[in-house]
Amino acid sequence: MTDIVLSIDHLKVALPAWSDRKFAVGGVSLEIRQKEILCIVGESGSGKSMMGKAILGLLPAPHVRAVGGKIMFEGRDLLELPDDDMRAIRCGRIAMIFQEPMTALNPLMKVGQQIEEVLEIHTRMTPLQRRERVLDLIRDVHLPEPGRMIASYPHQLSGGQRQRVVIAMALALEPALIIADEPTTALDVTTQAQILHLIKELQRAHGTAVLFITHDFGVVAEIADRVAVMRHGEVVEQGVATQVLRAPRADYTKALVAAVPGLKPRLQELDADSNVLLRVTNLEKTYRTSSGLFGGTVREVHAAKKINLELKRESSLALVGESGSGKSTLARCVIGLESVDSGLIEIDGERISGRTRAELRPFRKHVQMVFQDPYASLNPRQRVGDIIALGPMLNGVSREQAIAEARELLRLVGLKPDAVDRYPHEFSGGQRQRIGIARALAVKPKLIVADEPVSALDVSVQKQVLELLNDLRKSFGLSMLFITHDLRVAATVCEEIAIMQRGEIVERGATAEIFAAPSHPYTRSLFEAVPGREWISSLD
Amino acid sequence: MKTFWSRFLGNPRVYLGLLWLGLLLVVAIAANVLAPTDPFAIVGKPMAAPGGEFWLGTDSLGRNVLAGLIHGSRATILIAVLATLFAVAFGTFMGAVAGYYGGLIDDVLMRFTEFFQTIPSFLFAIVLIAILSPSALNLVVAIATVSWPPIARVVRGEVLTVKSREFVQAAVVAGQGDAAILLKQVLPNTLSPLIVTGSLLIATAILAESALSFLGLGAPNVMSWGFMIGAGRSFMREAWWLVTVPGIAILLTVLAINLVGEGLNDALNPRLADL
């Protein structure tokens, strides 16, 4: 076959001796054909990123290195190629799009210069030709006002715009292959939808082959021609996208597909007359950044504007919005980590806003929080038992009893009770999040604020943690304020949804009603942006 | 992942450093047994070359150089370690408070720290000794006073990053008080860079102590390596051993501390060392 752009033949990438397994990639064979998008799907640790890096010779040698197999590209084995030839191939023939556009761009160089630099190094264009080409590229990726755009610095652009610049750089030399490593993971849902659309459009227009690395089956459904599913450094299944998505053969693929949260709304289960636990009235919060000791106010961000909210006892409400919508600010005000400018927050009829930290202490046991990042939310120098027992002990429970309760809680969240004597680093991300949940439950709160509790987890783990939260809610009689950017997640756990945009709640109602007929245009755009929407609906 | 101890002790340079420091510690503790006579006592004829009756010779007044070296290790190590402990304690306090509370408190404490940083540290130490009069305690005070600012900077930086981590917020939500959060949640997570900086600071303190003693600003009637070099410098051409022997002792000690410090750094920050 002549239309094969890149063929990977039994590639093996070795990990350093102290790792938990020997090979990051253990004998993978793949082919990427012209004009196709091949998606590599896998959970974290599956070796999918290492494979992408191996193609471009970007492995962190000497500890991680390719030890076997071939990567054939345009008749040459990339693993055998000397550094100089490899440099010409990078960017020139194979380009890369990274996950985090901010770190992929030089913060001290104007965007236009950065794109031009690529042309300057790899081509013999005159300065005038280069400038023309840069403007063309900027137009190609649909950035507004190309003239102004090339004179901007990366920090002046939004995340989506930065990713467009990175894509423009990747396209600058018309490469035969683009490797995109989770290019939309750091972006908001609506931006993600636009970037996916752009990649697909450009790929069709330029006839480029794309190796797209992702963990999200929704994204796969949106963009892939062919799919390869990876696990523990091996390909467990590969084939045409429609076949893998609709009729997966391998058990692992089936499990992954089943774990994708559906768009089926949760039904209102509670009686309408149950009383209100949390009431937020006219909440206002503005952040002001000042410059140094003598500087005045430099920037103001209105994070919450006249927010009104009610949460009934034993129900759960999802705050859905994109980054910067003020949803986290609202949560932090409710939990008392942030003071409010004006407005009222009441829990069980008691005012908790406007109190000092010392005054807040008696109310702390009513509201607890589950944090986003399972790696940052547990103190690495404390034993799990001490982490969980801290809250009860501050409330006057003896240490022996608090540790005994911690053992019971660990059992409830699906861990072994003897985990109390171990340190957080001995647990995986999902297990750590269970420990975080156990900690929140330890003081028997009435309300749990969960700030993106599953966004840092793999899809299959996500599902388990969501199910756990659901079960515990029922058995503990908890109410939950659930913050998420993902409508799919909101639908599986919450009876009610409030959509936030730029510090305001634009739509609020029962999940089922909003899913049936979203009324606000922003809500509708969120629905349209859900990756793989048609495919997900077809699964239900 | 290998453990801290296997990474630390698997490093041959650390062994060399620990070997020398261990030897030094034994000598310092057992100084009165190893060299029972007063190091200031005149025991033989002046300027006796090494290898004779006295292994390392005698100085211009006929004092035993080996005895001086043995007793000198006591003063040098004690003053350097004490000065470092004070500097680390004070620097940690300043840095931790500044980093944790931020805002105005941070501004005030850090400007105060900068005030100390802008004065050349050795000159500052000389001025302090000149004001306070030379004594062992004042040496400790002077060296500690000039060496705490870097510690405060390191701790403040670490506290700033650690305090933004979610487990600190979790402690706030649990209702833990500020002092307890700082002591139990934040500071234990700043230990690794603190240990590394602190261990290297001992080497700097030894050099500062020696330099001050060399200038005659050391503790009177206390034998120290710097004092020996200072006393022997005028006879360098006639009696090379008077300067060379304590000089090599200082060199080896500082080198050993640096080796151990680097080893600690590599062991505590394995990612930096390996990748």
In this structure, are A281 and A406 located in the same domain? yes
Mean pLDDT for all residues in chain A:
86
Residue of A292, A360, A380 with shortest CB distance to B189:
A380
Amino acid at A124: R
Q: Output the pLDDT for position B270.
A: 60
For residue B200, pLDDT over 90 is answered with no
Rounded distance between C-alpha atoms, residue B94 and residue B88, angstroms:
10
Q: Output the pLDDT for position B149.
A: 94
| Partner A, chain B 138-177, Cβ-Cβ below 8 Å | 165-167, 169-176
For residue A247, pLDDT over 70 is answered with yes
For residue A268, pLDDT over 70 is answered with no
Check A376 against B167: CB less than 8 A apart.
yes
3-state SS, residue A346 = strand
Higher pLDDT, B183 or A274: B183
Share of chain A above pLDDT 70, in %: 95
Pairing outcome for strands A479-484 and A316-320: parallel
A interface residues, B as partner, C-beta within 8 Å? 16, 18, 60, 63, 292-293, 335-337, 357, 360-361, 364-365, 367-369, 371-373, 376-382, 387, 390-391, 394-395, 436, 439, 443
Chain B CB contacts of A436 below 8 Å: 170
**Residues B190-209, mean pLDDT to the nearest whole number:** 89
Q: From the CA atom positions of chain A, what is the Rg in Å? A: 25
Q: Is residue A25 part of a domain?
A: no
Check A394 against B175: CB less than 8 A apart.
yes
Chain A CB contacts of B167 below 8 Å: 376-379, 387
Q: Output the pLDDT for position A294.
A: 57
Q: How confident is the model at residue A2 (pLDDT cuts 50, 70, 90)?
A: low
For residue B275, pLDDT over 50 is answered with no
Write the DSSP assignment of B225-273 as a string of letters: HHHHHHHHGGGTTT-THHHHHHHHHHHHHHHHHHHHHHHHHHHH-HHHH
Pairing outcome for strands A316-320 and A297-312: unpaired
Check B167 against A60: CB less than 8 A apart.
no
Q: Output the pLDDT for position A266.
A: 66
| B179 has a chain A CB within 8 A of its CB | no
Over residues A27-67, the pLDDT tens digits come to 888 889 888 999 999 888 788 888 888 888 888 777 788 88
Q: Output the pLDDT for position B119.
A: 92
| Interface probe with A: pick from B109, B167, B182, B195, most Cβ of A within 10 Å | B167
Check B174 against A443: CB less than 8 A apart.
yes
Q: Which domain holds residue A158?
A: 100-172
Over residues B218-233, the pLDDT tens digits come to 888 888 898 898 888 8
Higher pLDDT, A68 or B146: B146
- The number of beta carbons lying within 10 Å of the beta carbon of residue A59 is 19
Rounded distance between C-alpha atoms, residue A78 and residue A86, angstroms:
7
Rounded distance between C-alpha atoms, residue B2 and residue A95, angstroms:
36
**Residues A8-37, mean pLDDT to the nearest whole number:** 84
pTM of the model: 0.81
Q: Output the pLDDT for position B271.
A: 55
In this structure, are A146 and A288 located in the same domain? no
Query: Could you tell me which chain B residue has the CA closest to the CA of A19?
Result: B1
Query: Which residue is it, tokens 């200038």?
Result: B215
**Residues A78-86, mean pLDDT to the nearest whole number:** 85
Query: Which residue is it, tokens 């698997």?
Result: B10
Q: Output the pLDDT for position B22.
A: 93
Q: Output the pLDDT for position B274.
A: 45
Q: Output the pLDDT for position A292.
A: 56
Single residue among A172, A202, A223 that ends a domain in this structure: A172
Write down all domains in chain B, each with its CATH number in brackets.
Answer: 7-274 (1.10.3720.10)
Taking CA A165 as the corner, what is the angle to CA A31 and CA A180, rounded to the nearest 5 degrees? 20
Q: Is residue A492 part of a domain?
A: yes
Q: Output the pLDDT for position A459.
A: 81
Q: Is residue A74 part of a domain?
A: no
For residue B91, pLDDT over 90 is answered with yes
Single residue among A172, A193, A218 that ends a domain in this structure: A172
For residue A173, pLDDT over 90 is answered with no
Q: Output the pLDDT for position A336.
A: 85
Residue of B2, B170, B188 with shortest CB distance to A377:
B170
Sorted by sequence, the CB contacts under 8 Å of residue B158 that are 6+ apart come out as: B95, B99, B189, B190, B193, B194
Q: Where are the alpha helices (DSSP H) in A304-371?
A: 327-335, 357-360
Structure tokens at A217: 């089956």
Q: How many residue pairs bridge chain A and chain B with CB atoms within 8 Å of each other?
A: 65
Share of chain A above pLDDT 90, in %: 14
A64 to chain B nearest CA, in Å? 9
8 A C-beta contact, residue A465 and residue A453: yes
Q: Output the pLDDT for position B1.
A: 47
Rounded distance between C-alpha atoms, residue A335 and residue A310, angstroms:
15
**Residues A126-144, mean pLDDT to the nearest whole number:** 89
**Residues A189-207, mean pLDDT to the nearest whole number:** 88
Measured over the CA atoms of residue A144, residue A150, residue A153 and residue A154, the dihedral's sign is positive
Check A377 against B107: CB less than 8 A apart.
no
Q: Output the pLDDT for position B126.
A: 94
Q: Output the pLDDT for position B94.
A: 95
For residue A380, pLDDT over 50 is answered with yes
B171 to chain A nearest CA, in Å? 8
Q: Output the pLDDT for position B140.
A: 94
Check B175 against A395: CB less than 8 A apart.
yes
Q: Is residue A92 part of a domain?
A: no
In this structure, are A141 and A280 located in the same domain? no
For residue A1, pLDDT over 60 is answered with no
Number of domains in chain A: 2
Interface TM-score (ipTM) > 0.90: no
B9 to chain A nearest CA, in Å? 16
Check A443 against B173: CB less than 8 A apart.
no
Q: Output the pLDDT for position A297.
A: 59
8 A C-beta contact, residue B146 and residue B126: no
Q: Print burial letters for B91-125: b (CB count within 10 Å at least 16), e (below 16).
A: bbebbbbbbbeeeeebeebbeebeebbeeebeeeb
**Residues A101-111, mean pLDDT to the nearest whole number:** 85
Rounded distance between C-alpha atoms, residue A150 and residue A133, angstroms:
12
Sorted by sequence, the CB contacts under 8 Å of residue B232 that are 6+ apart come out as: B59, B60, B239, B242, B243, B246
**Residues A333-345, mean pLDDT to the nearest whole number:** 87
Closest CA to A138 of A171, A96, A109, A106: A171
Amino acid at A422: R
Q: Is residue A105 part of a domain?
A: yes
- The CATH number for A465's domain is 3.40.50.300
| Interface probe with A: pick from B106, B164, B166, B186, most Cβ of A within 10 Å | B166
Q: Is residue A138 part of a domain?
A: yes
Q: Output the pLDDT for position A290.
A: 63
Q: Which of A10-14, A427-431, B121-125 has the highest mean pLDDT?
A: B121-125
Q: Print burial letters for A278-297: b (CB count within 10 Å at least 16), e (below 16).
A: bbbeebbbeeeeeeeeeeee
Q: Output the pLDDT for position A270.
A: 58
Write the DSSP assignment of A412-457 as a string of letters: HTTS-GGGGGS-GGGS-HHHHHHHHHHHHHTT--SEEEEESTTTTS
B165 to chain A nearest CA, in Å? 6
Q: How confident is the model at residue A271 (pLDDT cuts 50, 70, 90)?
A: low
Phi, psi torsion values for B274, nearest 5 degrees:
-90, -40
- The number of beta carbons lying within 10 Å of the beta carbon of residue B255 is 15
3-state SS, residue A5 = strand
| Partner A, chain B 182-241, Cβ-Cβ below 8 Å | 184-185, 188-189
Structure tokens at A531: 């990756």
Q: How confident is the model at residue A357 (pLDDT cuts 50, 70, 90)?
A: confident
For residue A272, pLDDT over 70 is answered with no
Helices A459-476 and A429-441: crossing angle, nearest 10°?
A: 20
Share of chain B above pLDDT 70, in %: 97
Rounded distance between C-alpha atoms, residue B275 and residue B260, angstroms:
20
DSSP conformation class of B213: H
For residue B36, pLDDT over 70 is answered with yes
Q: Output the pLDDT for position B273.
A: 46
Check A18 against B2: CB less than 8 A apart.
yes
Single residue among A157, A172, A187 that ends a domain in this structure: A172
Sorted by sequence, the CB contacts under 8 Å of residue A510 that are 6+ apart come out as: A268, A495, A496, A497
Rounded distance between C-alpha atoms, residue A153 and residue B269, angstroms:
34
